[in-house]
Amino acid sequence: MKYLNLIIFIFISKLAFGSTADTTRLTLQQVVDMAKSNSIAAKQATTVRETKYWQWRTFKSNYQPQLSLSGILPGYSKTTQQVLQPDGTILFQPVHNDNSSLQLNFSQGLTATGGTIYGTTQMQRFSDFDRNNVLYNGVPYAIGYSQPLFQFNALRWDKKIEPLKFNESKQAYIESQEQISITVSGYFFDLLLAQVNLQIAETNFTNTEKILKIANLKFELGKVSKNEILQLQLERLNAQKAVGTAKRDMEIATLNLRTYTGTEGEDKIALELPGSTINMEVSADRVLAEAFENRSDAIAFMRRIAEAKRDVTKAKGQSGLIATLTANLGYSNTARTIADVYRSPQNQQLLQLQFSIPVLDWGRSKSRTKTAQANEQFVEYAVEQDKQTFKQQIVTQVTLFNMMKNQLVFTAQADSIASEKYQIARERYVLGDLSITDLSIAFQENDQAKRDYIAALRDFWGAYYQLRYLSLYDFERNQKITYK
């Protein structure tokens, strides 16, 4: 196998671009790294991750104390307004004043109860310019508590669900990076196959030219028929057409690879043959364990069920008695100066119960609750089905990966045999010991064997990157896959 890989490596190294100074040689890993750094897909994944992070920060802020300053400054007004008189009539009076105010509010939500503690301090200044009068009204401080009764507690449910969403987004970012590896490996092997096809086409054209010259000499000596000469001329023409087709395909494959990886430049690209072995052993049980621990889908299973339960609780909270209890205690005062507002302020209290009870809703509340419960049951079934699909996909991929390792060995052996058979066929034809038909068959078998080997490499590395994607685990290094 080492000898065979050396031969194939030399074969790939002598591609159409040769080893000129303007040729960039790239390995599979280098192409993958380029795509993860520069591709549009990588930039999109980074943007999505950043968006999810700031959504997480927004969620966290809901559980922190909130402090806000509001007011009207200035509140100047010079106009004519209607004024209600003691006898019930209305007179329009000129008004010229400034009514400014500032209010500092504090609030803190309580996760356990869903209630809110709040506090406030206020100051209002009223200036009547017509009468040269100034009056202050203020609330030195007031604290209160508002508690919804028999209602949906959004804070408590968000605290269960939002961390799952954030962890899911972090694992989804890692998955997006591994998906880039899968996608760009396809472009890599597209170009590698195109380069191999070009090398095959050029080699076949050169060999056909040489054989045709020998056949022409034999024809002059009467050792071959005109039909064989025509057959070789046709082979040369087909080989020449194959060279043109291969060049076109290689240009397209190069453009596709450059476009996806986000690289620019006029340098030619020559790809190096990736290895045919990976030092790793995988089992379905191990991959399943890592997948359920690392994949975003595994987190999504828990999130989807939690969201369904939340919707049921929300539907129940919106049915029947809905009430809010509010209590407020503080001080207020009115004075001619600011200092006097804070001298001997008056006590103010508030106790309020606001409620709503549906008397006749024609079963709307019950229907809403039953709908949420039915959806919860459906989500549980759907998650269970998705888990089964999740497991089956992983087991299938592990089996496929192990098969690809064996298949690659057999394909390499077939390539070696076809190459040796082709060399013998050429020599026998030159010696006149082989027909042109058998030589053509040897041509085709040799070409197909090389293409089959590249296809086997593609399947093998595709299965490898797919395993990484499905488990988010690096079985070569025995560690979880992470990205900064």
Taking residues 266-280, report their average pLDDT: 85
Instruction: Write the pLDDT tens digit of every residue in 464-482.
Output: 999 999 999 999 888 999 9
Taking residues 15-34, report their average pLDDT: 73
Residue 436: band (very low, low, confident or very high) from pLDDT cuts 50, 70, 90: low
Q: In terms of C-beta density within 10 A (0-12 exposed, 13-18 middle, 19 or more buried), how is residue 47 classed?
A: exposed
Residue 279: band (very low, low, confident or very high) from pLDDT cuts 50, 70, 90: confident
Q: Spelled out in words, what is the top-level CATH class assigned to the domain 2-58+158-305+374-480?
A: mainly alpha
Q: 329 and 119 in contact (C-beta within 8 Å)?
A: no
Give yes or no for a cis peptide into 74 (omega within 30° of 0).
yes
CA distance 310 to 306: 6
Instruction: Write the pLDDT tens digit of every residue in 211-234.
Output: 778 778 777 777 767 887 787 788
What integer pLDDT is reported at residue 3 of this predicted model?
38
Q: 65 and 106 in contact (C-beta within 8 Å)?
A: yes
Q: 14 and 199 in contact (C-beta within 8 Å)?
A: yes
Tokens matching residue 383: 């998650």
Instruction: Write the pLDDT tens digit of every residue in 300-310.
Output: 999 999 999 99
What integer pLDDT is reported at residue 437 of this predicted model?
67
CA distance 330 to 469: 60
CA distance 169 to 179: 15
The yes-or-no verdict on residue 7 having pLDDT over 70 is no
Q: 136 and 340 in contact (C-beta within 8 Å)?
A: yes
What integer pLDDT is reported at residue 16 of this predicted model?
37
Q: How far is CA 2 from the centre of its chain?
A: 39
Q: How far is CA 262 from the centre of its chain?
A: 18
Helix (H) or strand (E) holding 385: helix 364-430
What integer pLDDT is reported at residue 240 of this predicted model?
84
What integer pLDDT is reported at residue 420 of this predicted model?
81
Neighbours of 280 (CB within 10 A): 14
Percentage of the chain beyond pLDDT 90 is: 56
CA distance 232 to 234: 5
What integer pLDDT is reported at residue 410 of this predicted model?
85
Instruction: Write the pLDDT tens digit of every residue in 64-119.
Output: 999 999 999 899 999 998 988 888 899 998 999 999 999 999 999 999 999 999 99
Dihedral of the alpha carbons of 363, 365, 367, 372, in degrees to the nearest 10? -170
CA distance 179 to 39: 12
Residue 429: band (very low, low, confident or very high) from pLDDT cuts 50, 70, 90: low
Tokens matching residue 174: 């890692």
CA distance 31 to 258: 10
Tokens matching residue 416: 């070696």
The yes-or-no verdict on residue 364 having pLDDT over 50 is yes
Question: Distance of CA 372 to CAs 313, 451, 481, Å?
Answer: 9, 56, 38
CA distance 474 to 174: 12
Whole-model pTM: value is 0.82
Closest Cα partner for 144 from 354, 356, 348, 355?
A: 348
The yes-or-no verdict on residue 266 having pLDDT over 90 is no
User: Which residues does 150 contact at the CB level (< 8 Å), separation at least 6?
Assistant: 317, 320, 321, 322, 323
CA distance 321 to 16: 80
The domain limits of the chain are: 2-58+158-305+374-480, 65-110+112-151+321-357
Tokens matching residue 44: 């999109």
SS3 at position 332:
strand
Taking residues 252-266, report their average pLDDT: 89
Mean pLDDT of the chain: 87
Tokens matching residue 312: 């049921």
Among 136-145, 293-302, 361-370, the range scoring the smallest mean pLDDT is: 361-370
Running DSSP on this structure, what letter comes out for residue 21? T
Residue 253: band (very low, low, confident or very high) from pLDDT cuts 50, 70, 90: very high
